[in-house]
Amino acid sequence: MANAYALGEAASRTTGQVDALFLFITVVSLFFFLLVEGLLIYFAIKYRRRKGAEAAETPDIRGSLFLETVWILIPTIVVASFFYYGYMVFRDIRTPSPGATDIHVVGRQWLFEFRYPDGSLSINELRVPAGGPVKLILSSDDVIHSFYIPAYRLKQDMVPGQYTTLYLHPDKEGTYPILCAEYCGVAHSTMRADLIVMEPGAFAAWREKKEAPAGLSLAEQGKALVEKSGCLGCHALEGKEKVGPNLGQGFGRKVLLADGTTVTADEEYLRESIYDPKAKVVKGYPAVMPTFKGSLSPDDVGAVIAYLKSLSGEKEQDTEKGVEKAVEKEEREGKEAPSAHKGKELTETLGCLGCHSPDGSARVGPSFQGLFGRQVELEGGGKATADEAYLRESINEPKAKVVKGYPNVMPEFKGKISEEDLSALISYLKTLKR
Ligand code: CUA
């Protein structure tokens, strides 16, 4: 089923499944469309009004049980087969794949940010080895985005304040576009990323070359947060219980709630329970946990959940396999000297060009052309010279000095790009001086 609907080659097993389902529905629908329309035209001609036939009386037909049964039964079977087939494919695509590598994905106006288990980050580039399954945990920082991989025929909404998930089966090497498929603002059409599926050997070799990412893995960050946030006052890791359930009790288990219903302790349940602990209280425990909304950022919650998963043992084997180690930072290695060329590439990979044009044309933010060295008027009065210090500050903390007349929407890049990258970006911006 390659190239069905011009959406590209079969790059994953989900591609073939979805294409076959669509083909089935299309062919069956087409058959009935032609049958019904064909009979309509045929009867319209055959029983058309003829001259001199006006007097003929219409036959008195009161109904036919046989016919009615047939025309109820056949469409019911056809529609039920659509549902059944569709449901089987849906179930297969949504069923968790054991041993999947977790990657957190955040949608933001107007870029995708990928966060790997080793704590490293990348923007608009998702690198995975061919073979093993990957679990994406999707959320949004602002409005609803939709994570769409046409080559895999997969699409999933990214909703602020909620986790959604998507399982990938990267079977075939290559580079595939990822698009945002939900209108999310002026630069929606530029919100794109690349899915780069590498041969496992090449992936491992590429990973080898990377330095270990600075800082802690995601689970280690989560451990520090759990200790710092006072969680352990009420939750023991294992052994004798304190006020709340033990944290090491097993991610993914079914828990019985105070209201008698059950829920699976998955990412979304844990996220909700950290932000809104009273929403779903585990049976037998007092509803006394405070909310951590405001004290733990969405990124922090992602780290805490990675830690809780590591406690349950489910993820243990993952530390040796998958994307964990040092995926990323290829383009921002910082080994080479800061150069305008690299800065130019960074403006593409970091998604800057979604909002800033390099050629003076108007987009959401000020154009890069002629920006360096210029006097800019600031929102709220005052002026600033767009020198190195100003650009550095505006990339790290865009909200500090917003240029007058532009919306205050740029995300912070603080901690997301290295010093070298910052320098490279600035040296590139210098070359665009008018
Ligand atoms: Cu994000 Cu459209």
Q: What is the pLDDT of residue 210?
A: 62
- SS3 at position 403: strand
More confident residue, 158 or 385: 158
Q: Is the CB of 32 under 6 A from ligand 1?
A: no
| 338, 348 contact by CB (below 8 A) | no
Long-range pairs of 178-181 with CB within 8 A, sequence gap ≥ 24: 178/112, 178/126, 178/147, 178/148, 178/149, 179/148, 179/149, 179/150, 180/107, 180/110, 180/112, 180/145, 180/146, 180/147, 180/148, 181/146, 181/147, 181/148, 181/155
Sequential DSSP letters for 184-220: -STTGGG-EEEEEEE-HHHHHHHHHHSPPPSS--HHH
CA distance 115 to 341: 26
Helices within 217-356 (DSSP H only): 218-228, 267-275, 298-311, 340-349
Q: What is the pTM of this model?
A: 0.62
Closest ligand 1 atom to 109 CA: 1
Task: Find where tokens 């957190």 sit.
Answer: 104
More confident residue, 233 or 108: 108
108 CA distance to ligand 1 middle (Å): 8
162 CA distance to ligand 1 middle (Å): 17
What mean pLDDT, rounded, does the chain reach? 81
| 327, 127 contact by CB (below 8 A) | yes
| 403, 391 contact by CB (below 8 A) | no
Closest ligand 1 atom to 110 CA: 1
- Percent of the chain scored above 70 by pLDDT? 88
pLDDT, mean of residues 305-324: 58
pLDDT, tens digit, 9 for 90 and up, residues 318-369: 333 333 333 333 333 344 445 777 777 778 777 787 778 777 777 778 888 7
Number of helices (H), then strands (E), in the chain: 9, 14
Q: Is the CB of 145 under 6 A from ligand 1?
A: yes
Q: Is the CB of 179 under 6 A from ligand 1?
A: no
348 CA distance to ligand 1 middle (Å): 17
More confident residue, 16 or 331: 16
More confident residue, 434 or 47: 47
More confident residue, 341 or 309: 309
pLDDT, tens digit, 9 for 90 and up, residues 280-301: 888 888 887 878 777 788 888 8
CA distance 332 to 273: 36
Q: What is the pLDDT of residue 7?
A: 57
Q: Show the beta-strand stretches assigned E in 141-188.
A: 145-149, 154-158, 164-168, 174-180
Q: What is the pLDDT of residue 6?
A: 54
pLDDT, mean of residues 36-64: 84
Encoding tokens for residue 133? 């399954």
Q: Is the CB of 356 under 6 A from ligand 1?
A: no
Residue 274 scores a pLDDT above 90? no
CA distance 327 to 210: 8
More confident residue, 82 or 1: 82
Residue type, 2: A
